Structure 1
Amino acid sequence: MISKLPLIGRKHRSRNTPETDAAVDEASAQRSSVSLTWRRFKRHKLALVSLWIVIGVYLIAIFADLIAPRPAGDYNADYPLLPPQSMTLTDPGDGRGFGLYVHGYTQEIDEVSWNRYYTEDPDELHRIEFFVNSGHDYEFLGLFTTDRKLFAPADPDAPFFLMGSDSNGRDIFSRVIYGTQVSMSIGLIGVVLSLVIGIALGAAAGFFRGVVDTVIQRITELFMSIPSIPLWMALAAAIPREWGPLTIYFAITVLLSLIGWTSLAREVRGRVLTLRSEDYVVAARLDGASRVRVIRRHILPGLTSHIIASVTLAVPAMILAETSLSFLGLGLQPPVVSWGVLLQEAQNIRSVITAPWLLIVPSTAVVIATLALNFLGDGLRDAADPYGGATR
C-alpha cells in the first residue's frame, strides 16, 4: 500500500500539461484572493451589517414606486399635520378577521389658535392589505403600468400616514421613500464622475511629475483653499431658476462631482509617487510598455484599497452636500423630492415645535445612510488592504 502511493501521484501529475497547471494555479490564486478579502470583511461585523443596510437602501430607491403607499405629490386636505400613525394587530374573534389595521380619526379645531387636534376613533378601522390596488398608476421600472402597492389600506380614501403628514396633507413616509431615489443616486453618480476625474489627474500628476504635477497641484490647491459651503452656494446660485427639475438635478450632480475630486486626486498622487519606483513598475517600463499601460495595468491595481475607501466615504459626502444645498434653498427645488428638500420644507420653527416628525424622519434617513456608508467603507478598506495582516 505504501509503495503504490508515489506511483499514483506520479501518474496523476503526468496527465496535466504545463498550460493546465498554470491555468489552475492562476484560478486558485484568484479564488484565494477573493476568499481572503471576503473573510477579512466578514470579521468586521459592523461593516457587514452596514453592507445589508446599504443594499436595502438602494433596493428601496429602485422599488420606490412599489413601496411608497402614495405618490410623492398626492395630498389629503382633510389630514394636514397628522402625527405618525400606528398599526393595530386585531384579534380574530372580534368579527373583523386577523390582520393589520389603522384607526380613523376625529378632528377638533381650536377656535383661538386654529390648531387641529386629532383623536383616534376606536370604532373606525381600515384593513391594511398587501399588493393592493391603490388607484394611482405608475410605470414599474419603466416596463409596464400598474397601480399595485406593496401595502396600503383596502380603502384608498382611508387615512394612512405611518410617519405623519405635512401641512398639505402629504404622506411623509412616501416622500422620504421617493427622496431616497434622488439623494442616493446623486451620491452615486457624483462619486463616479469625481472618481474618474480624481484618478486621472492624480495618476498623471504622480507619474509624469514636473510641469504636469505642478499645474495639477496648483489647480487642486485652488479648489481646496476655498471653503466648501460658500463655493457650493456660489456655483449653485449660478444655476438658472427657470431650468426644469431634471436639468437642475443633472447640474447639481455635475457641480458636486467637479468639487469633490480634490482629496481623491491628492491621495492617488501620493500612492503613485510611491509605486512608480517599485521593481515591477520599473521592469514594465524597461520592457517597453507605454506609460498609459503602466499606469492602468501595474499602478492602479495597487490602489484598490484606497480607491474603495475613498469612494465609500465620498458617497455620504455627496449626499450631505446635496442635502445642505437643498436645505439652504440653492439645490433641488420642489416638485423634485429629496431628503434635502424635505428638510428645507421643515426648517421653520413652527414645524419643529408642532410637527417634529417633519424634521426627524428625513434627518434620520440621512444619518442612517451616511453612517452605513462610512462603516462599509472602513470594512472594505481593511479587507482590501494587502498589508492588513494575515488571515486566520
Structure 2
Amino acid sequence: MTDQPSPSFGMNAEAASGPSLSYWQLVRRRFLGNRYGMTGAIVCVLIVFSAIFAPFLAPNDPAAKDRDAIYSPPQLIKVIGQDGLTWPFVLGFEEVMDPNTFEITFEPSFDKVTPLKLFVEGDPYRVLGMEFSTHLFGGAESTPVHLLGTDGLGRDVFSRMLYGSRITLLMGFMVMAAACVIGTVVGVTSGYLGGRVDTVIQRLIEFVKSFPDLPLYLALVAILPRRADPMVTFIMFAGIVVLLQWANLARELRGKVIAIRSVEFVRSAVAVGASDKRIILRHIIPNMSSHIIVWATYVLPEVILLESFLSFLGVGIQQPLVSWGVMLNAVRDFQSLASAPWLLAPVGMIILSVLAFNALGDGLRDAMDPYAND
C-alpha cells in the first residue's frame, strides 16, 4: 500500500506551509484565489459605486421630461460615421408612419448627430448639502442623450435606472442589517439561556414562520397608508420585510450556539468565572461571524427580488421614489411592453445584482472554511 500523507492535524498544505496565518488571513487568501467569488465581489463593488455616484454618472435628472422624445428607442453609442472613424456620438430619431397600419416607428437619422462629451454641465443635483451640475458625459450643446431610451413621459431610462439602484440597494442593505442584528440577538439569547426563554422564543419563531410569505407580505403592505410621505412608506415597507426575515437567522444561530457553548474553551471560560456578556461577545459571536456574513450575502439578493416584485405590482415603494421595481411597474400591460421593450432594462440590473451577490456569498462560504480541501 502507498503511504498517504498525514493531514497535519486537519490543516491542509495551504495552511501548513509558510508562516502561521490567522483565521481571517486564511479567509482572505482563499477568497482572493476564488475567481467566481472575486468576480462577484468586483461586480458588487461596481453596482454599489454606480448607486452612490448616480447623480454624477446619470446624464439627466430622473424626473426630467423630454416632450420631444416620448417612448424614444435607445440611442446606441457609435464611433463610425459616414466619414469613417470619429469621436463617439449618438443618432437622433425621425418619426416614420406606416401608410398601411398607421403605426409610428422611429428611424435613426444621420441628420441628427449628437457628439458625446465628458464632464458636461447639466441638471443640478445635491451631494452632502452642496449643489453640483457636472455629469460624467452628455450631449454637446446640452442636447439630451437617452442611451436606454425614454418612457411614456419622456424620462431617461438609463438615468432612472441608476437612481433606482440607490433605493433598491438601500432597501436591501437596511433589511439585511436590521435582520442580522435582530436575528443574532434573538438566536444567541435563545441558544445560550435555554430553558423557558428558549421555549418561548422558539414558539415565537414558529408562529412567524407559520404564515406563507407572499400572502402575508401582500396583506401587510396593503395596510400601508397611501397618502403618507413616500419616505415614511419606504421605512414602513422595510420594517415589514425585516419582520419576516430575522426568524431564519435566529433559528440557525440558536443551533450553533447550543453546539458552541458545550466546547472546551467556553466551558473553561465559565469555570474561571467569566460573565455571560464576555462569553457571548468574546467567544460565541466571533465563532458564528462567518455564518452571519454568508447569510447576509444571501438574504440581500432575496430582498432585492422581493422589493422589485412588490413594487412591480404597485404595492411596494411608491413614486416619486424611483426603484427598479417602480420602473417595471410601467410595463405591466402588453401594449406598453410591445411599444417600448427597452423599459425592461431594470430586469438586467436585477439579474446582474442577484447573480453578483450570490457569487460573492458562494466565495465567502468557501473562504470561511479555510481548512477545507479545495
TM-score normalized by structure 2? Answer: 0.90
Q: Is 1:373 matched with 2:361?
A: no
**Aligned match of 1:101:** 89
Give 1:364's aligned residue.
348
- Distance in 2 between residues matched to 1:221 and 1:171, nearest whole Å: 46
**Where does residue 3 of structure 1 map in the other structure?**
none
- The reply to whether residue 36 of structure 1 matches residue 26 of structure 2 is yes
Alpha-carbon contact 2:146-2:157 (below 8 Å) kept: yes
Q: Which amino acid in the other structure matches residue 34 of structure 1? A: W
Q: Deviations over 1:11-70 (max 9, x none)?
A: xxxxxxxxxxxxxxxxx86x6433321111122211100100000000011000001111
Query: Per-residue CA shift, 1:95-125, capped at 9, x if unaligned?
Result: xx94111112211345886643111111321
2-structure distance, mates of 1:118, 1:253: 41
CA deviations 1:307-331 (Å, max 9, x no partner) are 1110000111111121122112111
Change (3 A) 1:344 1:79: same
| TM-score of the aligned structures, taking structure 1 as reference length | 0.86
- Which of 132, 136, 160 does residue 120 from structure 2 map onto? 132
What amino acid is aligned across from residue 339 of structure 2 in structure 1?
A: T
Residue pair 2:75, 2:92 contacting (<8 A) in 1 also: no
Retained in 2: the 8 A contact 1:245–1:333?
yes
* CA spacing shift, 1:91–1:76, aligned 2, 3 Å: closer
Instruction: Give the count of matched residue pairs.
Output: 356
**Counterpart residue number, 1:388:** 372
Q: What is the correspondence of 1:241-280 to structure 2 with a 5 Å cutoff?
A: 241-280=226-265
On the 8 A contact 1:92/1:98 being kept in 2, the answer is: no
Structure 1's unaligned 5+ residue stretches are 1-27
SS in 1 for 2:328: helix
Change (3 A) 1:372 1:353: same
Kindly indicate whether the alpha-carbon contact (under 8 Å) linking 1:88 and 1:102 is maintained by their aligned counterparts in 2.
yes
For residue 280 of structure 2, the aligned residue among 288, 295, 299 is: 295
Between Structure 1 and Structure 2, whose CA radius of gyration is higher? 1
SS at match of 1:128: strand
Specify which of 179, 193, 196 is matched with residue 211 of structure 1: 196
The change in CA–CA distance for 1:350 and 1:261 in structure 2 (over 3 A counts) is same
What is residue 153 of structure 1 aligned with on the other side?
A: 139
CA shift at 1:240, angstroms? 0.7
State which of 335, 348, 353 in structure 1 corresponds to 2:333: 348
Match of 1:72 in 2: 62
Return the structure number with greater relative CO, CA threshold 8 A, min gap 6.
2
* Corresponding residue number in structure 1 for 2:15: none
Compared with structure 1, are the counterparts of its residues 71 and 111 closer, same or farther at alpha carbon in structure 2 (3 Å cutoff)?
A: farther
| Structure 1 residue 86 displacement after superposition | 0.8
> How many angstroms apart in 2 are the aligned matches of 1:339 and 1:105?
27
Identity of aligned residues (%): 36
SS at 1:183 equivalent: helix
On the 8 A contact 1:178/1:337 being kept in 2, the answer is: yes
Counterpart position of 2:181 = 196
Match of 2:172 in 1: 187
Note if contact 2:75-2:90 (Cα within 8 Å) is conserved in structure 1. Answer: yes
Q: Is the 8 A contact 1:328 1:344 kept in 2?
A: yes
Give the Cα separation in 2 of the matches to 1:126 and 1:233: 46
Letter in 2 for 1:145: E
Q: Rate the CA distance shift 1:32–1:204 in 2: closer, same or farther, 3 A.
A: closer
